[in-house]
Amino acid sequence: MEIDLVKEKIEIEQAFQSMLDSAKYCNKTPENLDRIKKAFDVAFEAHKNVRRKSGEPYIYHPIAVARICTEEIGLGATSIICALLHDTVEDTELNLDDIERMFGKKEAQIIDGLTKISDVVDFNVSIQAENFKKILLTLSEDVRVILIKLADRLHNMRTLGSMSRDKQLKIASETLFLYAPMAHRLGLHGMKTELEDLSLKIQEPEAFEEISSKLEKTQEVRTRFINQFSIPIKKALEENQLKFEVKGRPKSIFSIWNKMNKKQVPFEEVYDLFALRIILDSEPQNEKTDCWRAYSIVTDFYQPNIDRLRDWISVPKANGYESLHTTVMSPTGKWVEVQIRTKRMDEIAEKGFAAHWKYKEGDKESRFDKWITQIRELLENKNADALDLIDDFKLNLYDEEIYVFTPNGDMKNLPSAATALDFAFAVHTELGVNCLGAKVNNKLVPLSYELKSGDQVEILTSANQKPKEDWLNFVKTQKAKTRIKAFLNEEKKELAHDGKSILEKEFNRFKIEYQNISLKELQKYYKVASLTDLYYRIAVKEIDLNHLKAFEIRNGVLLPKRSIRTRFTNYLGQRLTKKDKKESSPNEMLVIGDNMQKLDYQLAHCCNPIPGDEVFGFVTVNEGIKIHKTKCPNAVQLLSNYAYRVIKARWLDEQKIAFLAAIKILGIDDVGIVNTITQIISNELLVNMRSISFDSNDGIFEGMITVFVHDTEHLKNLIKKLEKVNGVTRVERVDK
């Protein structure tokens, strides 16, 4: 089919104009409009012969990213220009000097930042932990880089359908792992919600469609309920001369799915499927008073659940979010969440950081500024392992916060479940390093004591106290973890120096020349990650050096005397040398159950995959290849951080081996029900059981049965049959 290029050019021009029309947050001076038009012309020319996987001209992508930046985040002309040009330096003949000459230094700096992290956020590759530092470095220079990259990721997620399944899973995993929390931290609630929903649509398509369909079917009932519920509230708000708007909003599909999984309940039992939002049009000086007046009106009509009151107006969240949340009982016996906020608060909640700056007053340091400062502190630790860096950074993306006080009344905000030791490091590093214990509300508590909002904390110190490794098991904040690790690493280096001397002496004893040889095999033998770890474990006597007699030097390498290299070891080496490649071979596929396949693989215990499950192979360092379900709890982290060690995998169609699967059965306890269940499993369906346990409490039973099945279809048939048993309320597969 021939493409009508003239018609296509007109449609592209229309898309650009539509984006510009939607840019209500942009200062549309003649100069800005000329610069934006120029950026579009440059991008159009640079990408004119390129098409996306979907077949459409590539230029639609930067236009869409620019539209998200201005319409959904609220950014201005500079960001629109950079969004339009964001892929030019990476993918075309243009360079940064061209950008600076045509548009200016700031635009070139932002495009440079976008180009530097392209390997991390590029659509075709997965996050490499080592590159992650680039994101943080850029974030601390100009946050617009991250905002544009988030817009880029959102558009890519919206258009993921044309990609292969394995790429979809990798991209969805890294989106859920890092980019949705990042959007949350930047206050972009709408973007965070959509990124989570789109990731779920890829990872759990059946669950997504089921929840989406049920929300659609219940839409009319919800609308009627909200209208009826809000009638007395609206009338009272009007009588109190408050200007307002009332909206009913369903919870996101991801949050409903999350609640169903965490609480182990079906869709019908998730009570807060939607929230009522009251948005007040208040003058700045009256905002707080008006919100509490509205709260008083709501609770005059409906009984509140005191435990569910959240006051983020008096103390806003770290991302700037302000709102009053309460949950009240409706006349029909349903709990309803009511959110009360002003127009300004609502704009900040939806547009995040960009809207926050619009309302920023004077030179007062914002919460976002404090977060950026924490990021810079994080980057000061030059020796930090990249994966630790990601973990530490994610600690800084926490959702729930608590507020605690020093003896002088100064407030510190910390993540939920933070400890007394976290508080000590939050006040000052030296206080944390020498922390011996704490008094919370004048009561002596251990370092691991979990703090609650409103606690007043006094830290007790000793000059002889030093950080211990077990501290890392209970601290929650990035600052505490980073400082403890830095102290322990320094201590480890000192001990490692002693360990190296001990090893040299042992080499001499066994007449092994130590100079100019590689110790990688020795590291592998003792299962340590680095030479420093090897020397350290020698110093603290965790390694038995008598085993050295089993080694010899061959070609400058220390090797076991009876070293037999299996095909898998060679294969593993080949896999790990591919870590810098963006793509693995499209034909590379591990066939599970294929007798011709000599690779060493095993099924992961964390998710117990069976034939029919969508799976992938993961190359471990010491245990061969592990087969995981794509729905495995660990899949998100593995696919995000170790893409180069992931192998496509499928089940052999003819396979009829029995695999172990666990099912949970819930129901009403009755005489003979266990016998009925076991009869169906063993006699009717001829399924072998490995273990069975039933527990009954107040007339409700919960059973756990592990059975041998051939594949997911076999298991589904068993579950359907058991669901029909009289008294059984729910049957589901569980990972065990």
SS3 341: strand
pLDDT score for 585? 44
What is the pLDDT confidence band of residue 370, given thresholds at 50, 70 and 90?
low
Could you report the per-residue pLDDT of 281-321, keeping only the tens digit for each?
999 899 999 999 999 999 999 999 888 888 989 888 777 78
CATH ID of 5-199, from 2.20.25.10, 1.10.3210.10, 3.90.700.10, 3.10.129.10? 1.10.3210.10
pLDDT score for 297? 94
- Tell me the two tokens of residue 331: 């006349």
Mean pLDDT (whole number) for 224-250: 90
Mean pLDDT (whole number) for 621-640: 80
pLDDT score for 695? 83
Highest mean pLDDT among 46-50, 253-257, 516-520, 680-684: 253-257
State the fold for domain 659-734.
Alpha-Beta Plaits (3.30.70)
| Residue 90 bears catalytic tag | yes
Highest mean pLDDT among 138-152, 406-420, 529-543: 406-420
Q: Are 272 and 328 in contact (CB under 8 A)?
A: no
Q: Are 608 and 661 in contact (CB under 8 A)?
A: yes
- The model's pTM is 0.68
Q: How far apart are the first and last CA of the chain?
A: 53
d(CA 636, CA 623): 20
Mean pLDDT (whole number) for 256-272: 82
- Tell me the two tokens of residue 514: 């130590």
Highest mean pLDDT among 101-105, 134-138, 579-583: 101-105
In DSSP notation, 588-643 reads -EEEET-TT----EEE-TTT---BTB-EEEEE-SSS-EEEEETT-TTHHHHHHHBG
What is the pLDDT confidence band of residue 563, given thresholds at 50, 70 and 90?
very low
pLDDT score for 238? 93
Sign, CA torsion 410/411/415/418: positive
More confident call, 301 vs 380: 301
Mean pLDDT (whole number) for 573-580: 43
pLDDT score for 41? 92
Asked if the model's pLDDT at residue 76 lies above 80, the reply is yes
Asked if the model's pLDDT at residue 271 lies above 80, the reply is no
The long-range contacts involving 570-575, CB below 8 angstroms and separated by at least 24 positions, are 571/599, 572/619, 572/621, 575/619, 575/644, 575/645, 575/647
Q: Are 51 and 58 in contact (CB under 8 A)?
A: yes
**HSE of 262, CA atoms in CB hemisphere, 13 A:** 7
What is the pLDDT confidence band of residue 60, given thresholds at 50, 70 and 90?
very high
Listed range (114-118, 511-515, 582-586) with the worst mean pLDDT: 582-586
The residue ranges of every structural domain in the chain are 5-199, 212-358, 486-560, 567-651, 659-734
pLDDT score for 364? 42
d(CA 452, CA 415): 10
What phi and psi values does residue 128 have, to the nearest 5 degrees?
Answer: -105, 130
Nearest to 178 by CA among 136, 211, 141, 144: 136
d(CA 453, CA 160): 42
More confident call, 123 vs 236: 236
More confident call, 628 vs 610: 628
Number of H helices, E strands in the chain: 30, 22
In this structure, what DSSP letter does residue 268 have? G
| Chain position carrying tokens 């090897």 | 534
Strands 625-629, 601-603: pairing is: parallel
SS3 592: strand
Measured in residues, the chain has a length of 736
More confident call, 644 vs 570: 644
User: Per-residue b/e over 59-85, b at no fewer than 16 CB within 10 Å?
Assistant: bbbbbbbbbbbbbbbbbbbbbbbbbbb
Average pLDDT taken over every residue of the chain: 79
pLDDT score for 713? 83
Asked if the model's pLDDT at residue 215 lies above 80, the reply is yes
Nearest to 726 by CA among 686, 648, 685, 673: 673
Beta bridge partners of 666: 702, 730
Q: Are 134 and 386 in contact (CB under 8 A)?
A: no
- How many Cβ atoms sit within 10 Å of the Cβ of residue 293? 17
Asked if the model's pLDDT at residue 125 lies above 50, the reply is no
What is the pLDDT confidence band of residue 356, given thresholds at 50, 70 and 90?
low
Listed range (277-281, 533-537, 642-646) with the worst mean pLDDT: 642-646
Asked if the model's pLDDT at residue 381 lies above 70, the reply is no
* DSSP H or E segment with residue 211: helix 205-217
- How many Cβ atoms sit within 10 Å of the Cβ of residue 568? 15
Query: Which of 13, 72, 91, 380 is an active site residue?
Result: 91
- What residues contact residue 422 under an 8 Å CB cut-off, 6+ apart? 414, 415, 451, 475, 476, 477, 479, 480
Q: Are 531 and 523 in contact (CB under 8 A)?
A: yes
Asked if the model's pLDDT at residue 527 lies above 50, the reply is yes
- How many Cβ atoms sit within 10 Å of the Cβ of residue 104? 13
What is the pLDDT confidence band of residue 373, given thresholds at 50, 70 and 90?
low
Asked if the model's pLDDT at residue 599 lies above 50, the reply is yes
CATH top-level class for 212-358? Answer: alpha beta
- What residues contact residue 710 under an 8 Å CB cut-off, 6+ apart? 611, 655, 656, 657, 658, 659
Nearest to 705 by CA among 727, 726, 679, 672: 679
d(CA 321, CA 348): 7
| Residue 142 bears catalytic tag | no
Nearest to 577 by CA among 650, 644, 532, 660: 644
d(CA 2, CA 90): 29
Nearest to 423 by CA among 399, 408, 396, 402: 402
In this structure, what DSSP letter does residue 241 have? T
- Kindly tell me the burial class for residue 605, based on how many C-beta atoms sit within 10 Å of its own C-beta (0-12, 13-18, 19 or more): exposed
Query: Which of 21, 34, 41, 90 is an active site residue?
Result: 90
d(CA 582, CA 644): 8
**CA dist 490 to 336, 372, 558, Å?**
53, 26, 28
d(CA 428, CA 425): 5
- Helices marked H in 447-586 — which ranges? 478-509, 520-526, 531-539, 567-577
d(CA 650, CA 106): 49
Listed range (273-277, 368-372, 413-417) with the worst mean pLDDT: 368-372
What is the pLDDT confidence band of residue 363, given thresholds at 50, 70 and 90?
very low
Query: What percent of the residues of the chain are helix, what percent strand, and what percent coil, each to the nearest 5?
Result: 50, 20, 30
More confident call, 628 vs 516: 628
Q: Are 720 and 665 in contact (CB under 8 A)?
A: no
